[in-house]
Amino acid sequence: MEIARPLLRWYRRVRRRLPWRETRDPYAIWVSETMLQQTQVGTVIPYYERFMRRFPTVRALAAAPLGDVLRFWAGLGYYARARNLHAAARDVVARFDGRVPSTVEELLTLPGVGRYTAGAVASIAFGARATVVDGNVARVLARWHAMRGDVKSAAMRQRLWRAAESMLPARGCGDFNQALMELGATVCTPIAPQCEVCPLRGGCRALARGLADRIPRPARRTMVQRETHVVAAVSDGERWLFVRRPRNGLWGGLWELPTLPVARTRVRDAVQEVLRRRELARARIESRPFVRATHALSHRRIEFVGYRCRVERTARVRGGRWCRLNRAERLGLSRAMQRVVAALRELVGANDGGLPSGRDRVA
């Protein structure tokens, strides 16, 4: 069965109207494809729209400080994507005079751009004959060919990429690739695929063999790592101390109330250690936590235990910033830290610290 024609007819009839589908701007498409990695469309849309308003061109992104970029990415997760996108934008300005490369080979030279992103940008923005295989496409192809292996294994990934390349039409590869992704996202879903409305049902080998709900093979469940992070919410009365996380690692480059991973048995004692590391050993610590909140990541569950602390006078903390809670989210906080700060605001009052003032400063 020839796949491109019925798939494209279906796609043009039912495709979702998404903001990045209303443009051929390669930069906008690149931003959207980066945000969509491991993140659902509904979550991405408002972040994409805010990001594009603030950084409408690759030159605007390249010229911005990394902290500003992370602030507009805050809450979207997988922050290495933002750091790589920023570095790649600077690379585009330096090496390509601000023009996003049009070939897969050149795109692959940019920081953080892999085979999928390069193929997506080249085909959608420039009409290049390039292949894409993401999770949705892999599922469609595995069912179409009745491939029973683990789609995340290296050998299976190579088979899937070869299959995708063999199915590319001579023209319209951008729409074809988007149609495959759309089919996997809306019809050929991981659970309960809607085979009765699939435009490719006539040639699907998994459907013909009664295997559509068993292909792809479920991945092995990864053990969830449990952690406890103690949070010291330090105030000088009006303002609260925020510090920036190291650039690399979990939530790299974002701001937070001073936090330290600890053993569960040492939670209360660990607050003193957080303060000591910030040279705030004389701060007074409340006896009971103001929050216990659990945040789930893909393979980690982190419990945040927060204690309020108070200093008599504003201390200078290297790399720290004292600011009012009603300005905190402007710094760029992870979604987990947003929850902690929200609990703190609820406790002390939503208008804690009054209106923003010029006293907010970097210490």
Is 22 considered catalytic here? no
User: What stretches of 1-118 adopt beta strand conformation (E)?
Assistant: none
Q: Which long-range contacts (CB under 8 A, 24 or more apart) does 9-17 make?
A: 9/199, 10/179, 10/183, 10/199, 11/175, 11/178, 11/179, 11/182, 11/183, 12/175, 14/182, 14/186, 15/178, 15/179, 15/182, 16/41, 16/182, 16/186
Q: Maximum Cα–Cα distance for the chain, whole Å?
A: 76
d(CA 210, CA 218): 16
d(CA 209, CA 246): 52
- Using CA atoms, how far residue 117 sits from 85, 125, 177, in Å, is 12, 12, 12
Backbone angles phi, psi at 138, to 5 degrees: -60, -40
Token pair listed for 276: 């000591």
Please, which residues have CB within 8 angstroms of residue 341's CB and are 6 or more apart in sequence?
Answer: 257, 325, 328, 329, 333
> Which residue, among 47, 69, 70, has the nearest Cα to 60 in the 3D structure?
69
Token pair listed for 211: 């295997």
Amino acid sitting at position 344: L
Question: Angle at Cα 77 formed by Cα 36 and Cα 111, nearest 5°?
Answer: 65
Length of the chain: 363
> Of 2, 22, 33, 312, which residue is the catalytic one?
33
Give percent helix, percent strand, percent coil of the chain, each to the nearest 5. Answer: 45, 15, 40
Question: Do 278 and 317 form a contact (C-beta atoms < 8 A)?
Answer: yes
d(CA 280, CA 315): 8
d(CA 158, CA 153): 9
| Residues annotated as catalytic (active site), given as ranges | 33
